[in-house]
Amino acid sequence: MKLHHNPASPFVRMVTATAHELNIADQIELIDTGVFLPDRVNEGVAADNPLGKIPSLVTDHGTALYDSRVICEYLCHHAGDKELLPDEPVSRFRILTLQSLAVGLMDAGVSRRYETAVRPEDKRWPDWVARQHTRMEAGMDDLENNWASELGSINAGTIAVAVVLAYFDFRYDDLGWRDNRPKLAVFYEDFAKRSSMTATQPPA
């Protein structure tokens, strides 16, 4: 398998951390995209994903898969794993919803990052930045208050949650997301020690 990736992307790290949890990371060849800018076409990625977005995975059969949630589900299928993403419908859709919540937080965090660090200063939209911040805070409040059971296990959702919290530490060191969220802070402190997280940590 081949994975178009950039180590700074939380969407990519969600995939690579899942691969490590499944013990199949050594089956994936990482194709580094280099600097990945939102206003330009990366021809290498676009050859496998018409949207030109990462992560994009090419299977051993030559099939291209995207986005991060689809790739993670494929990796669980490929590994024959029923723990990270169980078949039992109540658990499965609860975990998928948790994963989607984390991906939504990634969307908000990356959108805010692009707006404040990439877009020319005279074209930035403060209300857009504020809306992304509101989404980030609301999502983390929901994690703190409504997901204690799921956050107590290792699954596709908790991998995504750990990755997005790590991304917030990486890009927003002044966010203070641990303030008034003790359960979420304890969850992350424990999960961040897992080999899947230490092996996929982005460069400083």
pLDDT (tens digit per residue) in 146-202 = 999 999 999 999 999 999 999 999 999 899 999 999 999 999 999 999 999 999 999
The Cα–Cα gap between 168 and 173 comes to 7
pLDDT tens figures, 64-118: 999 999 999 999 999 999 999 999 999 999 999 999 999 999 999 999 999 999 8
pLDDT score of 24 more than 90: yes
pLDDT given for residue 107 in this prediction: 98
Residue 13's closest CA among 95, 86, 81, 110?
Answer: 110
Residue whose pair of structure tokens reads 């074209």 in the numeric block? 123
pTM of the complete model:
0.96
CB neighbour list of residue 198: distance below 8 Å, 6 or more residues apart? 192
**CATH T-level fold of 2-79:** Glutaredoxin (3.40.30)
> What CATH number does the domain located at 89-194 have?
1.20.1050.10
Please state, in angstroms and as integers, the Cα–Cα distance from residue 109 to each residue in 41, 113, 134, 154, 158, following that order.
21, 6, 10, 23, 17
Q: How confident is the model at residue 29 (pLDDT cuts 50, 70, 90)?
A: very high
In a 3-state reduction of DSSP, which class is residue 28?
Answer: coil
**β-strands 56-58, 2-5 pairing:** antiparallel
**So where are the chain's domains?**
2-79, 89-194
Q: 38 pLDDT band (50/70/90 cuts)?
A: confident
